[in-house]
Amino acid sequence: MSTTYQLDTATSRANPTPQPMRRLTVPSIAQRKKNGETENPIVMLTAYTARQAQLLDQHCDMLLVGDSLGQVIYGLSSTIPVTLEMMANHGAAVVRGSYHAVVVVDMPFGSYEGSPEKAFESASWLMKQSGAAAVKLEGGVAMAETVRFLSARGIPVMGHVGLTPQAVNALGGYGARGRSEAEARKIIEDASALEDAGAFAIVLEGVVEPIAIEVTREIGCPIIGIGASPCCDGQVLVTEDMLGMFDRVPRFVKRYGDMGAMITEAAQTYAEEVRERSFPGADQLYQPKPD
C-alpha cells in the first residue's frame, strides 16, 4: 500500500489517502526493455505541482519534474536560470501528489557539470529534499564518468542526449540533431556511453527519425523519445504543450486538448458576470439562519 495526498476542498489542505497499488520502481522501468525490445511502451509526462501529479499519475509510468518549469512556470527565457531549490520544491510537490509513477527530477544547469563529486552533492541533496526516485542530467560521453559515479553510489540516473536544452547557447538553437553524419555518430556514441555508465534510461530529444530508430535498437536501456520516433521504448512531452496551454506548438507536439482557450473563456465569463453584478449569485451567498 502506498500513499498519495488528496486536496481537501473544504480546507485546501493535502491529506494522505491510501491507494491500493504500489509505486513503480526504477528497476521495473529498466526491465521493460528485454532483448532490445519494449513490448509495453513507457508513458512519461512532465509534472510540476501536486494537483497536476494527481491528475496524471494513474496514466503514467514516470513523471518528470523537468527544468522546463523555468519557462512553463516561471516565464524564463530558457532553463539556464533554474536552481536546485526550484527543482527540489516542485519535485517534493509531485512526489506528494503521486502514488504510482516513478518521479524523476532534472538536475539544473551548473549543479553537476563541475565534477562527479559536485554532481553527487547536488543529486543527493535533491533526492533528500524531494523524495524523488531518480535524477536526470544532460550530456553523453562528457558526462559518462559522472553517471557512473552516481550510479555506483545508489543514485539512479536518467540520461538525456540529442537536443539538450541546457546547452542551447553552445548548440545555437533548438533545431533537430543528427542531420550530419558526424552529429548522428556523436548521438549514438553519447547514448552508448551513458548505457555503459549505468543510466537506467535515456531521453532522446529532437533527433531525425532514422537515428532515433538506430539508437533504440542498439542501446540496451529504454530510450524515451521526444521529437524522435514512435519506435522508441517510450515517449515524453511537456504536459502544458500537449494540453494547448501555449500558442506556439513545437513540431514534435500533438495537442490533446485546448486548455488555454478553456481558461480564457472561463475568465472572460467570470469578468463579465462580476461587472454586471450577476456573480456571486444566490447559490454562492451565505444567509442568516432563521430564528
CB atoms within 10 A of CB 83: 14
Is 190 annotated as a binding-site member?
A: no
Distance separating alpha carbons of residues 114 and 155, to the nearest angstrom: 18
Q: Is 136 annotated as a binding residue?
A: yes
- b/e map of 210-238 (b: 16 or more CB within 10 Å)? ebbbbbbeebebbbbbbbbbebbbbbbbb
**Burial classification of residue 246, based on how many CB atoms lie within 10 Å of its CB (0-12 exposed, 13-18 middle, 19 or more buried):** middle
Q: Is 247 annotated as a binding residue?
A: no
CA distance 172 to 154: 35
Task: Find the length of the chain.
Answer: 291
Candidates 195, 205, 214, 240; catalytic one: 205
Alpha carbon distance 157, 148 (integer Å): 9
User: Does residue 241 have a known ligand-binding role?
Assistant: no
Q: Give the contacts of 148 (CB within 8 A, at least 6 positions apart).
A: 116, 197, 198
Assess whether 205 carries a catalytic annotation.
yes
Torsion over CA: 274, 276, 282, 283 (sign): negative
Q: According to the annotation, is 128 in a ligand binding site?
A: no
Q: Among 131, 17, 13, 50, which residue's Cα sits nearest to residue 2?
A: 17
Closest to 226 (Cα-Cα) out of 64, 10, 19, 48: 64
Number of H helices, E strands in the chain: 11, 12
C-alpha cell at 168: 542551447
The tally of CA atoms less than 13 A away on the side-chain side of residue 19 is 19
| Binding positions for 3-methyl-2-oxobutanoate | 67-68, 106, 136
User: Annotated active-site positions, please?
Assistant: 205
| Binding positions | 67-68, 106, 136, 138
